[in-house]
């Protein structure tokens, strides 16, 4: 009842593709939008594309988040590459004053009270919710390990990810411990969603468990610079405001993934004018232009990662300039206005009367 002949329906990712043939029979044009693709082709990826091919063929147009993800069978088809974008007004990316950042981090239980947040009344961090109403961060994060709160004035290295092996949180920890801990006063926060229950998210619980084991295996003198942080997920706006504050406070935003679909945490860090250190994998290479961040050619090379991180921490002026260029690059390429215009142009093309 909602879809009528002549409508255009956007189908997202492979899960919805089975609808395309039915919708075509109903006189509806479909556009298939895929965020996934193949990094390294092999017989299994070829089989997967062969499975999807007949389901995709009835579509009128195709959108991929990366040019590299377009499968060979769509050569010559009406394909548009539209990269994802971030919303600069969302709780995740909106501007936050340094005092609000400090208050949010303190409310979360991550840092101690300092002069920076400028109020002694125990006030919590204020932000604007997605619906425009005012929000406050009230919840605490869970921080693994005993120890005093982090030093708000010391440089904080941050990676925010799901607890997934491909994000290599353990590698981020091991490289930091081996090459950086104890220098420049640097601290590391590995941040991800709360994992309540192994039955809920077995992989997340397992990866977080591996991080805890790695952390516990460090000498106490190293451990005290490193925190594993899990964020409450019940209130998505509040969770986003916490991520926002962490990224804004970060001296360096790391995304040392072993593989990545797009990796929007990179654009999020760059938008906040942070120096970003990230693996040259997946969509991360589309986001980091020359001189707008540091790319690691081999994400498993912990020496190279440690040296690059050390270099950014040692040169605060250079890192700040890198962050400013990153923010301009995201402003020009990865905000929603560019995204909207590309969709408008695509819909115009799809709606244009065909020849004859
Ligand atoms: N994220 C979050 N809270 C968390 C962990 C991650 O909001 O506790 C967000 C992160 O800020 C980003 C998204 O989840 O916006 C992850 O997207 P990305 O493309 O980096 O990786 P994916 O998880 O899709 O592989």
Q: Which residues pair with 187 in a beta bridge?
A: 156
| pLDDT, position 123 | 54
- Of all atoms in ligand 1, which is nearest to the CA of residue 192? 8
Q: Which residues pair with 144 in a beta bridge?
A: 228
Residue at token pair 């909602």: 2
Considering only CA atoms, which residue is closest to atom 22 of ligand 1? Answer: 263
How confident is the model over 85-121, as pLDDT tens digits?
999 999 999 999 999 999 999 999 999 866 554 454 4
- Of all atoms in ligand 1, which is nearest to the CA of residue 191? 8
Residue length, the chain?
A: 356
Considering only CA atoms, which residue is closest to atom 7 of ligand 1? Answer: 240
Token pair of 279 as six digits: 């693996």
How remote is the CA of residue 23 from the centroid of ligand 1, in Å?
32
How remote is the CA of residue 160 from the centroid of ligand 1, in Å?
7
Residue list, ligand 1 pocket, CB within 6 Å: 92, 160-162, 192-193, 231, 239-240, 243, 261-265, 268
DSSP output for 208-236? HHHHHHHHHTS-HHHHTTEEEEEE--SSH
Considering only CA atoms, which residue is closest to atom 6 of ligand 1? Answer: 161
| pLDDT, position 202 | 83
- Of all atoms in ligand 1, which is nearest to the CA of residue 261? 25
**On the CB side of 348, how many CA atoms lie within 13 Å of its CA?**
6
For a pocket test of ligand 1, which of 161, 229, 240, 250 has the largest count of ligand atoms closer than 8 A to its C-beta? 161
* pLDDT, mean of each 10-residue run, the chain (356 residues): 93 96 96 94 96 97 97 96 97 96 94 60 76 95 85 96 97 97 94 83 92 96 95 96 98 97 97 98 97 98 98 98 98 96 96 77
CA dist., res. 307 & res. 311, Å (int)? 6
CA dist., res. 321 & res. 326, Å (int)? 9
CA-nearest of 131, 134, 166, 344 to 259 is 166
| pLDDT, position 309 | 98
Q: What is the distance of C-alpha 304 from the center of its chain? A: 22
DSSP output for 110-130? SB---GGG---S-PPPEEE-T
Considering only CA atoms, which residue is closest to atom 19 of ligand 1? Answer: 263
In the chain, which ranges are E strands? 8-12, 29-34, 61-64, 79-81, 126-128, 134-136, 142-144, 156-160, 187-193, 226-231, 252-255, 276-279, 294-296
């Amino acid at each position: 009842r909602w879809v009528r002949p002549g409508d255009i329906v956007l189908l997202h990712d492979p899960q919805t593709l089975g609808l395309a043939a039915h919708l075509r029979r109903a006189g509806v044009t479909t556009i298939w939008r895929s965020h996934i693709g193949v990094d390294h082709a092999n017989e299994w990826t070829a089989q997967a594309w062969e499975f999807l091919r007949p389901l995709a063929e009835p579509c009128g147009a195709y959108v991929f988040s990366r040019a590299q993800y377009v499968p060979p069978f769509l050569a010559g088809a009406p394909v548009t590459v539209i990269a994802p974008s971030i919303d600069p007004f969302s709780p995740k990316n909106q501007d936050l004053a340094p005092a609000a950042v400090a208050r949010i981090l303190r409310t979360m239980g991550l840092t101690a009270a300092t002069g920076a947040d400028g109020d002694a009344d125990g006030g919590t961090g204020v932000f604007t919710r997605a619906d425009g109403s005012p929000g406050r961060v009230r919840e605490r994060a869970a921080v693994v390990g005993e120890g005093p709160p982090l030093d708000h004035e010391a440089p904080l290295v941050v990676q925010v990810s799901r607890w997934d092996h491909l994000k290599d949180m353990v590698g981020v920890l091991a490289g930091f411990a081996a090459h950086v801990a104890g220098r420049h006063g640097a601290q590391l926060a590995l941040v991800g969603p709360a994992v309540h229950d192994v039955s809920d998210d077995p992989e997340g619980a397992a990866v977080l468990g591996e991080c805890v084991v790695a952390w516990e295996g460090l000498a106490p003198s190293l451990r005290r610079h490193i925190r594993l942080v899990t964020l409450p997920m019940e209130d998505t706006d509040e969770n986003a405001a916490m991520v926002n504050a962490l990224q804004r406070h970060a001296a360096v935003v790391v995304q040392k993934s072993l593989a990545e679909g797009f990796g929007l945490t990179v654009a999020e860090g760059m938008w906040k004018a942070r120096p970003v250190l990230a693996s040259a994998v997946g969509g991360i290479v589309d986001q980091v232009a020359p001189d707008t961040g540091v790319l690691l050619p081999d994400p498993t090379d912990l020496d190279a990662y440690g040296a690059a991180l050390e270099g950014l921490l040692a040169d605060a002026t250079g890192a700040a300039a890198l962050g400013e260029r990153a923010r301009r690059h995201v402003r020009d390429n990865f905000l929603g206005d560019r995204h909207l215009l590309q969709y408008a142009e695509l819909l115009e093309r799809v709606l244009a009367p065909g020849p004859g």
